[in-house]
Structure 1
Amino acid sequence: MGLKERVYSMLIVSSASTFNSTMASMLPESTYSPIRIVSNISAAKRAIAERAYDFVLINSPLPDDAGTQFAIDTCTSKGTVVLLLVRTDIHGAVYEKVAKHGVFTLAKPTAKATLIQALGWMVSARERLRQFEKKTSSIEEKMAEIRIVNRAKWLLISELKMSEPDAHHYIEKQAMDCCVTKKAIAEDIIKTYS
């Protein structure tokens, strides 16, 4: 699937109605859906707890918090890309605090063209995260398969008094002969001897 076909969910955390309407007009529904807008950090925390978002855009400050810690927590605990907009006079200090956690920052006021460019950076970062997620899930699947095969080997060792190499060879040979995975053979062995 190409980038043009991707659709990204977005949470906008902002108490500024002008900013919210401007952002909503900049985000085509064909690319950004759903878009949820909340006006404070408390509501943003509830929204994040309810579902995962590809992007979180925080227009700081907010009535209940600056949003800096929320940005860090969201970026480090989820597969979410976060953009934090802060006043120009504090941008440097905020950047120093959040950049090491992967949070993008922009000084405001910000030009519309800069926001559009930042959204492009966020798409790139999300796609990179997506690749890591795929690799992680394939590694986790492989580790699960290894655990199942090892459990089956130990059952063959204890129940049929095979040696470890013989149990391993038996599972491999059965998988080849039956044209199935070692995991499928191991699951059958576990069902039989458990």
Structure 2
Amino acid sequence: MRTKVFVLATHPMKFSQILPSTVYNPLESFKSVSSLKQQLRIQRPDILIIQEPIDEGVSWRLAYEWKQAIGCEILLMVPLRQYDQIVYQLNGSGVFVVSDPSNAQTVYQACEQLRIKREEIQKYQGEIERLKKKIRNDKLVNRAKLVLIESYHWSEEKAHHYIEQIAMNNSITKVDVAKELLKNVDEKK
């Protein structure tokens, strides 16, 4: 999976030499906040690297705000003299802070950590969506069972078996059977 990287820096490091293009591609650089904001309206990066000084002292606020608004991983590179203060300011925000100048290995490792974190988050979001869908489907089937129980005075077990039997006989899912049952009930009302 490729990782889209945006770099906001007035004099950027040679990120294209540090980050392999087989993984970090595309890599786009922006020299001003306004040009980056324009691009952010069109597309979102996976990783945003902000290299100080953009506007001395403002980049940590941008990093914090964009972390909340955009939802991408952010690497903030700040002058060593400000490092402790900015790390304190951004504590718990999810923004990854390194001192600038940093060597290529530090920048690469930071980006790798952010990329891995992003992939894990996407994996968990996919799992959450799968579980939400399962819960919605279970609710549909349970609602259909309830209709059968109330309409025919069946037991929960009999209603469940009926839905399963219809699904097997017609080679469809229990959810499809439940949807059809509920649709028929709504049409009769």
TM-score range, shorter chain: 0.7 to 0.9
Matched, 1:70 2:79: no
> CA shift at 1:131, angstroms?
2.1
> CA shift at 1:38, angstroms?
2.1
| TM-score (structure 2 length as normaliser) | 0.79
1:1-194 alignment, distance < 5 Å: 6-16=1-11, 19=12, 22-63=14-55, 66-153=58-145, 156=148, 160-162=151-153, 165=156, 167-194=159-186
Q: Could you say if the C-alpha distance between residues 63 and 72 of structure 1 is closer, same or farther in structure 2, counting changes exceeding 3 Å?
A: closer
Let me know the Cα RMSD of the aligned residues.
Answer: 2.8
> CA shift at 1:85, angstroms?
0.6
Q: Is the 8 A contact 1:15 1:63 kept in 2?
A: no
Write out per-residue CA displacement over residues 159-189 of structure 1, whole angstroms, 9 at most, x where no aligned residue. Answer: x455582544433443344443222222222
Indicate the SS of the match to 1:122.
helix
Structure (1 or 2) with the larger CA radius of gyration: 2
* Unmatched segments (≥5 aa) in structure 1: 1-5
Q: Could you say if the C-alpha distance between residues 74 and 172 of structure 1 is closer, same or farther in structure 2, counting changes exceeding 3 Å?
A: farther
> CA shift at 1:75, angstroms?
2.9
* Unmatched segments (≥5 aa) in structure 2: none
| TM-score (structure 1 length as normaliser) | 0.77
> CA shift at 1:143, angstroms?
2.7
> CA shift at 1:105, angstroms?
0.6
Q: Could you say if the C-alpha distance between residues 67 and 141 of structure 1 is closer, same or farther in structure 2, counting changes exceeding 3 Å?
A: farther
Q: Could you say if the C-alpha distance between residues 35 and 156 of structure 1 is closer, same or farther in structure 2, counting changes exceeding 3 Å?
A: farther
Q: May I ask how many residue pairs the two structures share in their alignment?
A: 185
Give aligned-pair identity as a percent. 23
